[in-house]
Structure 1
């Protein structure tokens, strides 16, 4: 299972993974399309299946993410506006997970919540 190869989802039970997969929207973005824009309200997070995106703050690229990377979790977890824009650098297939589904999964599996919070804290520390 591809999702089990992603660190955030590696210790999650098969039934939770199945619920996540069934609840995700499977989206396709062409090169140079914005997935999210800085400052907008975020109610979903994203998992890159294929392709690549760049993270932009104030229009300046600060990072590239590829297959297996997650983005958008910060806004979902702490209900703040998007801190950055995300734009594809090539055609990309990206899964989208809505906040309410994610929170239901947290109730069933605390490990998923812990891993996403750990990723968020790691990201916040890198900005210090």
Structure 2
């Protein structure tokens, strides 16, 4: 278990929270649940309903579709953020590669945080944009003709 000071120091390093004031971070960190997972444990599966964001405190997880690995995430990385905003089922599965400690932030906790400090929404948008760019770069490397960036929209003829 992390002490309240350890939580504050940890959450302050997480990219989506870096620009937030300490008084706000203290409140946010105090409402997060701390979860422990053994190695090779599914945290959630693709298609499952989700309303929470996870932040890796220690250990490593893989994000995957079946056997195809999409990413490996470690300390200070977060995952599960998409379902907080679009109310859609999880787009991938996440499984631990080793024992992991995570902090979990629920949708309601996040919405309360955004109401108080809108800057957190901008940070999450940056995170999502960066991940889309990384996936696009991987798609370009695997098959240059299937890239999202190469989709052409026909001109409006009206």
Instruction: Specify every segment of 5 or more residues in structure 1 that has no aligned partner in the other structure, as ranges.
Output: none
Alignment of 1:52-71 (within 5 A): 52-71=60-79
Q: What TM-score comes out, normalization by structure 1 length? A: 0.94
Paired positions, count: 128
Tell me what 2:118 maps to. Answer: 110
Cα deviation, residue 91, structure 1: 0.4
In 1, Cα distance between equivalents of 2:86 and 2:23: 26
Alignment of 1:7-18 (within 5 A): 7-18=15-26
In 2, Cα distance between equivalents of 1:107 and 1:62: 32
Answer 1 or 2: higher relative contact order, Cα 8 Å, separation at least 6.
Answer: 1
**CA deviation map 1:26-68 (0-9, x unaligned):** 0000000011110011100000000000011133112110000
In 1, Cα distance between equivalents of 2:107 and 2:70: 25
Higher helix share: 2
Instruction: Specify every segment of 5 or more residues in structure 2 that has no aligned partner in the other structure, as ranges.
Output: 1-8, 137-158
In 1, Cα distance between equivalents of 2:24 and 2:67: 37
Tell me what 2:27 maps to. Answer: 19
Tell me what 1:48 maps to. Answer: 56
In 2, Cα distance between equivalents of 1:91 and 1:2: 18
- CA 124–79 in structure 1, closer or farther in 2 if over 3 Å, else same: farther
Tell me what 2:140 maps to. Answer: none
- Which of residues 27, 36, 39 is equivalent to 1:31? 39
